[in-house]
Structure 1
Amino acid sequence: MLEGNRVSRISVRGFAVASATAVTTVGAVVGVASGTPQPSNDFEATAADATLLADIPVGQQAQVQVASLTQQADAQAAAADAAAKKSAEEAARIQAAKDAKAKKQAAEEAAERAAEEEAERASREAARDASSFATQSSYTVAEVKAIARQMIPGEQFQCFSNIVDHESSWNYQASNPSSGAYGLVQALPGSKMASAGADWQTNPATQIKWGLNYMNERYDSPCGAWSFWQANHWY
């Protein structure tokens, strides 16, 4: 009987050492998670706790083990939750920075488009109308180009000029006998230009006005018309 008690007590003491070690380890984990320094005398704490646990009846040792493991699991869960929270906060901060950058870029692009549209509108309004030019009996190529420069918005003039170069070489009386196309922009038929003025056959300003309206309505701009012309050799 004495020998049996001795064996049981030794077994209990061994379990106590293991359990106390687990408790000490849990305490260290909790201390690290909270930022509180932990004492390094683990051996002394373990020995003391083991001595106390050795006196616990055998029937209660299972409860002590469960309590120790539960405490350890709680500490690990708390540390995991803290790490997950920190990760989530960092991800939210990064996403907020990205959203702010995207909004700023979108606002800048919108402002730039608005400025370009306003500049184009102002340029078109500043362009002279065909009726503001005195009519002449005839016009040289230089005179026709000078009229066009005053009627076509500056950034669109070169595109308009490219088309007229190919269509009529700036001859406002150019006529295609096979198709009936006429004038600077080779309107087909030429009588279409009557919507811009009754003098469409003799006034280059009237032809330029009609051609500009046609390019704006069908291709958004002379440069849009020139892009189409380059791909198809007609517009």
Structure 2
Amino acid sequence: MDSTSAKDLVKRFSDTMAMIAAHRDSLRGIATLYGVAVPTNAQQAISLCELTLLACSADKPEAAWLNSEERERARNAATSLSAALIELRGARDRAELNFTDRVLSADNLDDAVRWLEGPFRSDTRYLARLSTMSTYTDAMVTRLPQAIDWQRAHQAFWHVAEESFPSLGDYWSGESTDFDLIDQLMAVAERISSLAPRIVDPERFAAQVARGGTPHRG
């Protein structure tokens, strides 16, 4: 190897080292910004880059979901609420052709069947108020169980909601809750946790990757 070739090799080596140092400094800055440990190998560097991409998503998981126990609690809550909502929608679809939503707050609705079949059959004005036609008909005898199912499903949904909705954070929106989105974001939260196994600053980390945070884009 002549002197010219040797000098060229040294220059290329020097440039390569400078590039590595620049990337290392960049990764160190990103890691500090995200509150995670500085990458020590190529795979960790790739994981950090993926983490920054997830942080720039329009929809991000709740900060609590980054914790495995809280995430499981939220997943169970979403599953229970979603199932209860399916039951509620089905019951409402079957009943609302014949009954108004007054049945949801009606008292003693279970007793109405006995009223219709018993000595109080003439007292039907109460039941007429529940009908979409605002009048009592003999057909209500067979259709009233639809109203009862609607009321029970409504009560069951909101009973589950009262116990479970805090786990869903700002993604809870009553019957309008997007459970498909929540399911997707649970998976994102799980992926984020796997990409950052060593979190140095939890608050800074959550500020970057969780809902409500503002990821640095510079």
Give TM-score scaled by structure 1 length: 0.30
Give TM-score scaled by structure 2 length: 0.32
